[in-house]
Amino acid sequence: MSVYTTLSHQDVADFIAQFDLGTFVSHQGIAAGIENTNYFVTTSTGEYVLTLFEHHHTDEVRDFVRLARHLGRRGLNVPAPLIDHNDIWLHDLKHKPAILCQRLSGSHIADPRPQHCRAIGRALAELHLAADDLHPRRADSRGFDWWINISPELKSDLSAEQQAILDEELAFQQAHREQWLTLPHGWIHGDLFHDNALFDADGNASAILDLYNACEGTFLYDLAIIANDWCCNEQGEWKAGCAEALQQGYSEVRELTADELNNWNLMLRGAALRFWLSRLLTRRIQQQTQGEMALQKDPAEFMTKLLVRRSAEH
The answer to whether residue 314 scores a pLDDT higher than 80 is: no
Other residues' Cβ atoms within 10 Å of the Cβ of residue 152: 9
**Tens digit of pLDDT for each residue in 179-235?**
999 999 999 999 999 999 999 999 999 999 999 899 999 999 999 999 999 999 999
Region of poorest pLDDT, from 188-192, 220-224, 259-263, 286-290: 286-290
- Mean pLDDT (the chain) is 94
Task: Report the candidate in 166, 251, 234 with the shortest Cα–Cα distance to residue 194.
Answer: 234
Q: In sequence order, what are the residues at sequence separation of 6 or more whose Cβ sits closer than 8 angstroms to the Cβ of residue 68? A: 78, 79, 80, 81, 211
Domains and CATH numbers, the chain: 9-102 (3.30.200.20), 114-311 (3.90.1200.10)
64-122 pLDDT per residue, tens: 788 998 999 999 999 989 999 999 999 999 999 999 999 999 999 999 999 999 999 99
Q: CA angle, corner 106, sides to 104 and 112, nearest 5?
A: 130
Give the pLDDT score at 158. Answer: 97
Contact 206, 104 (CB under 8 A): yes
Task: Provide the 3-class DSSP secondary structure of residue 97.
Answer: strand
Residue 1 pLDDT:
44
Q: State the Cα–Cα distance between residues 287 and 9, nearest whole angstrom.
A: 28
pLDDT at position 294 over 80: no
The H or E element spanning position 28 is: strand 24-29
72 touches 9 (CB < 8 A): no
Q: What is the DSSP letter of 313?
A: T
Q: Which pLDDT score, from 0 to 100, does residue 138 have?
A: 92
Give the pTM: 0.89
Q: Residue 121: enclosing H or E segment and its boundaries?
A: helix 114-130
